[in-house]
Amino acid sequence: MSKPLIVITGASSGIGAATARLLSAQGHPLLLLARRLQKLEELSLPETLCRGVDVTDRDALQAAVREAEERFGPADAIVNNAGVMLLGRIADQDADEWERMIDLNIKGVLYGIRAVLPGMVARGTGTIINVSSVAGRKTYPNHSAYVGTKFAVHALSENLREEVASSGVRVVTIAPGAVETELLSHTTDERIKSDYEAWKKSAGGALDPQTVAEAIVYAYQQPPNVTIREIVLAATGQQA
């Protein structure tokens, strides 16, 4: 029997790309979203629709999901993974960086949920997987605005889980520690960036994105009556 459609946001690198490869290898048709369309297409995955969508654009996100559902049938899961981490101090960080994180890390996740949830509730099945962070459970130096967005992902996910539990829809929060991806590269403060790199090194290195992808797939592949509410995973050497 053919497998159902899965939507992955932020699939052009890191955790999203690793998750796309894994789910595709298991036979799922995919909708891959990110701004860099070429990187999505370079994954060269079968039965995959790639769209260069900024997930802070609600209408574009919704339209891409409709297009994929017309082609592959209803979305059985979405991995709301697109995110940005712009570390800084509240006293001097450019406030535009807060806006970018809030728009993508919080509103982008809500838009992704809205694009698939009504159909899932109507069908009485589906899985929403939101990628938060250990920075969605505890604080770190220079992370104030970022932890604000990730605490929000934890909170809205748990509240949504309660809201849709009786509809047969599962909500999963994935909370990784440091992972070796492009994420840190977007932080603009060079000193904070080099301190973070040194911290990762002192912890013996970060997780491989493949490990996080496997956790996502583990949660998804549980029987429909089992919800893995949260997975928190980090490199063993990561103390904080």
Q: Which stretch binds ligand NDP (CB under 6 A): 42-50, 87-95, 176-184, 216-224?
A: 176-184
Q: Is there a catalytic annotation at residue 196?
A: no
CA nearest neighbour of 29 among 73, 81, 67, 64: 73
Residue span 101-130 as binding mask against ligand NDP, x where in contact by CB under 6 A, dash where not: ---x--------------------------
Least gap, CB of 211 to ligand NDP (angstroms): 11
Question: How far is it, in rounded angstroms, from Cα 46 to Cα 67?
Answer: 17
Nearer to ligand NDP, 11 or 171 (CB): 11
CA nearest neighbour of 128 among 148, 153, 99: 153
Using CB under 6 A as the binding rule, whether residue 36 contacts ligand NDP is answered as yes
- Phi, psi angle pair for 4, to nearest 5°: -80, 165
Given the residues 111, 140, 146, 196, select the one marked as catalytic: 146
Residue span 178-217 as binding mask against ligand NDP, x where in contact by CB under 6 A, dash where not: xx-xxx-------------------------x--------
Q: Residues 5, 7, 12, 213: which binds ligand NDP (CB under 6 A)?
A: 12
Helix (H) or strand (E) holding 61: helix 58-72
Contacts 24+ apart (CB under 8 A), 89-98: 89/142, 89/144, 90/144, 90/145, 93/145, 93/189, 94/188, 97/145, 97/188, 98/145
Distance (Å) of CA 155 to CA 74, 172, 188, 217, 227: 27, 12, 28, 22, 17
Using CB under 6 A as the binding rule, whether residue 148 contacts ligand NDP is answered as no
Residues designated catalytic: 146
Binding site for ligand NDP (CB under 6 A): 9-16, 33-36, 39, 54-56, 81-85, 104, 131, 133, 176, 178-179, 181-183, 209
